[in-house]
Structures are given as C-alpha cells and as structure tokens.
Amino acid sequence: MTKKKSFASALRDLLFRGKDKGLPEDHFVKLIEINTALNSELNLKRLLSLILDSVVSLMGAERGFLILRKNDQYQVEVARNIDREEIRKAGAKVSWGVVQKVMEEGLVLLTDSAMDDKSLAAFTSVADMKLRSILCTPLKIKDAVIGCVYIDNRFQKGTFSEDDRVFLDLFSDQAAIALENARLYEENEEKRIELEKLNATLEERVAYQADEIEVIKKVLETQRETHKLKYDYSNIVGRSAAIAEVFRLLDIVTDTNYPVLIHGESGTGKELVARAVHYNGPLRDRNFVSENCAAISESLLESEFFGYEKGAFTGADKRKIGLFEAAHEGTLFLDEIGDMGLSMQKKMLRVLQEGEFRRVGGHDPIKVSVRIISATNADIPELIREGRFREDLYYRLKVMAIRVPPLRERREDIPLLVDTFLTKLSSENGEEKKEIQLDAMRRLMAHNWPGNVRELENEVRRMHAVSGNTIGVEHVGGLSSSTVPRAGPGDDVYEGKTLEDIEKEAIRAALKRAGGNKARAAKELCIPRRTLYNRLKKYDIGLSEEN
C-alpha cells in the first residue's frame, strides 16, 4: 500500500528532485501547483481527468491518453485533445507497442520523430498512424507499474524537450500516489456503505426472525408444499434458498441407485444429507453403514472395508465381515473420502467396477451390491492435479453431486437452528425451554461460523449451561464477525452510538488485546490488514505496530 504523503513531505521531495534534475523554475512552480490539486482530489474519475488535462495543457500536446493496467490488460481510462475534448475510439489511436514498452521497462520514452526512431521501427502502429513526437511515462507505485501517461503530436517533430521529460517523470510519481490514494478512498467508502447496508439488513432480519420463529416454521412447511418435495427432510433444519436447493437435489438423487458425492466444509451436516438419501430411497429397509476414512490408518483400511479370514495375519483369530459385506444391498457412506490413500483408492475402484472383492487372506471372490455415498471437505480436483487422488475413481464416485452450503451462506437459518437446539436441550434436561434475547441472536447471526452447524450447536450448549432462564449477549462467547464489530460483556455500552463510534472502539479493543500488533488485530477483526491501516488513519488511532 502506498502511504499518502503530506503536502509538506511532497513539497520537499519535489524541491530536491527538481533541483537535482535541473527543472526550470517555472516548471517547478507549475508542478507544485498541480501537486496541491492532486492531493486535494479524492474522486477517482475527476482525478483521472485532472491529471491528463494538466499534462496535455502544460506540455502543449496535441493528444493525451491516461492508461491503466487492469487484470494484466491495458485500458484507456481518459483520452483528451488539447481542447479538452474526448477522443472517441481512443484504443485505436494510441501506439500499443509504445505503451507496452514503457509499461514493461518502467522507463520514460521520449522521441522527436517516432517514424524515424530505429528503436520504434518494429511497431507497425507508429508507421500506420504516422506518429512524430511522443512522450510516455510510467505511473509507478513502489516498483509496480500501474499505468502510463501517453502524449503525442502527430504533425510536428520535436514537440517535447528534455525538460518536459524531467517534468513528466516527476509529475507521474505524484500522480501515481494520488491515484492510489483516491482508489483506496473510494474502496473504503464502498465498503463502509456496504457495511452499513448489511448491518441494517441484518438487524431487520434478526428482529423479524427472533420474534417470529414459530411463524417461520409454518412458512418452511408451506415452502416445502409449494416446491412439492417428495420426501421428508425434517432432520435437516433450514428455510434458506441455499438449503432449499439441497432439498431439490435430494429429491432428484434419492430415487436413483447411483453413487453420490457430497461436498461441504466440516460441520455442515454431510452425514445428515447422506442419511436422507438412504432412508427416503429404495434401500431404506437395508443397512446404512458409515465410516470416516480419515479416522482409520491406511494399513487398516483394507481389512475394515473387505474384512479378513481367520489366520490372515497375527491377531486374526476369527473371520471378520468388512464394511462392504455389512452394507450389501444397502448403502455404504464414506466420509472424508479425500483422505484415502492411493493404494486403497485403486482397490476401491476395482470393487466399484467389478462388483466383487476378496477378504484379506481369502481367495474366493465375494459378489456385492452396494450404493456408495461419499463425502469430502477437500478440493478433489486439486488433489487430482497434485497426483493424490485418482481421476477415474473421482468420476465413479461423482455420478451425482450435492454441495452442502456453509452456515455463513445461510445465516437466515441460524434462528431456526438455535431454536431447534434449545428445544432439544430442554427435552434432554427435562426443563422449560430457555429464551434467547435479540442482541444475543444478533451476535450469533454476525459470526462467520468456520465450524458451521456443529460449532453453532456447541456454542448453544455452552450458552445454555452458563445462563439462567434467558440467554443474553453476556452469555455469548468471544465470537469474531465480518459484519459487525467484535463485542463482549457489557455490550449495552454501544447503545445510542454511531457505527463509526462502535468501529473505533472495536479497533482499539482489538489492538489492545493484540498488544499493538496490527496483523493479529486485523485477523481477530476478520478484515484485511490494509483495511485496518486505512481505519487507523481515518480515525487517527496511533498505536504502534509490534511485529
């Protein structure tokens, strides 16, 4: 990130560099005047026009183009002639060979007559457009070239002097800093507005859902009837669009006997989805056998899956039936399939292809008919690229695919889930169900829940254990949030304060807990470090970084 220089600092920099490079006094005065204007303009669109109009006017150029790099491509942002008129179809009126040369080398290019310049002879655009005087300077942020200022005169040779080159070189440094500051300012403003809208929407949504949970349940049933779902998914709690899409896919795959691959983060409820497929499907009266591939060492997987004969190895004092035999004519659910080693993957593929296997230590093939439902939180295509997962096995397992969304993508389901967990706890403990206050629900809704539904259930159990008849914000653990500032006990101190006041207090508190370390504070607040730096500057918070 480029730090915005104070005017005094920029003035000193220009003074020393200008004198060192022999900049004429009138150019130096103009440069200071322009630098003052650049430092006061934070609107990116107006700043781009200000930069180019200033250069074209002062250099006496016929035309000017301000070009920025975006996603490894060059784009003309502003194009003007000497009368400050927009140049139409600007992309076809600039020498992209010159632009690329300046952007790649990071050096100023000055030529008295481009058509006669041997270093530019390879650029057909120079000859095609009969270009003469060209002055092009890179815009740099530290060592990165973010764009360039390109001015020319198609009709006159020697339009630009060495003084002009020095002037534009100095000017471009200040222009690049001003552009970066304006970009960061607009980025922060967009995020601030987005944050305010998100908080307002979230507060409205929480207020409605916390007071109307029973109504929501009825809406859920109505929605299920509207979607004409064939099966009952009451064990999967949710009313969001994301979870409704899961129900829709379940209706499609349940009636088939094809393998299903369920993908989702840990704690999202992948096994619940697998059980819904089995117990609603044609194999509902058969066995549902579940195994976590990550929980068994590679050396034991084969005997677990295929069983073994008596005497197959030391300790094998009797025959053991494996998971495939136990799941015969039923469903075998393999959780965390991405953790299975390559050797076992090969044997698994053979069983799926041939429908038979041999027990460890056995010789006779055993025929088996099993529906495979597998689940993973890993990026299997990436594992394939790394050579850690067989592509042929992946496509065998992924005949049908279901993605279970993380809880942060279906925050509107959190009140329903909390209510479900509280009802369950009251039944387990034989006591009246506890109520949860709005501010506590707001805190739960704001948390990102990296552990998903499992983490939420554990948090509800903890809150239930430490609270009385009502669960308040003081009972919520230290949850971080990407939508509202981190808070803690005594959250009522925020009552009546603006979002900026709350944000400042949250930043100061996070820095204090992190011992002044900005990197740790940014991580705790769930914001990029650059965003934290911008907030520190905006609110004039002056704690020093201790890395």
Distances (CA, A) of 543 to 201, 402, 532: 33, 48, 12
Report d(CA 237, CA 242) in Å as an integer. Answer: 12
* pLDDT at residue 486 greater than cutoff 80: no
What three-state secondary structure class fits 246?
helix
Residue 171 or residue 237, greater confidence:
237
Least confident of 10-14, 228-232, 377-381, 400-404: 10-14
Phi, psi of 300 (to 5 degrees): -100, -10
pLDDT digits (tens, 9 = 90+) for 295-337: 888 778 889 999 998 888 888 889 898 999 999 999 999 999 9
pLDDT digits (tens, 9 = 90+) for 427-474: 888 888 899 988 888 889 889 999 999 999 999 999 998 888 889 988
pLDDT band at 79 (very low <50, low <70, confident <90, very high): very high
Burial class (CB in 10 A: 0-12, 13-18, 19+), 485: buried
- Out of 3.40.1160.10, 3.30.450.40, 3.40.30.10, 3.40.190.170, the CATH code matching 7-183 is 3.30.450.40
Phi, psi of 469 (to 5 degrees): -75, -20
Q: Scanning the structure block, which residue is given the tokens 């403003």?
A: 189
Report d(CA 293, CA 265) in Å as an integer. Answer: 16
The pTM score is 0.49
Least confident of 162-176, 238-252, 356-370: 162-176
* Percent of the chain topping pLDDT 90: 31
The answer regarding whether domain 230-405 maps to CATH 3.40.1000.10 reads no
Q: Scanning the structure block, which residue is given the tokens 């629900």?
A: 441
Average pLDDT, stretch 474-500? 53
At 521, list the tokens. 């504070």
The answer regarding whether domain 201-209+410-539 maps to CATH 3.40.50.1100 reads no
Q: Would you state the pLDDT for residue 522?
A: 75
* Domain positions in the chain: 7-183, 201-209+410-539, 230-405
Q: Which residues of 436-475 are buried (b: 16+ CB within 10 A; e: fewer)?
A: bbebbbbbbbbbbbebbbebbbebbeebbeebeeebbbbb
Residue 402 or residue 56, greater confidence:
402
pLDDT band at 488 (very low <50, low <70, confident <90, very high): very low
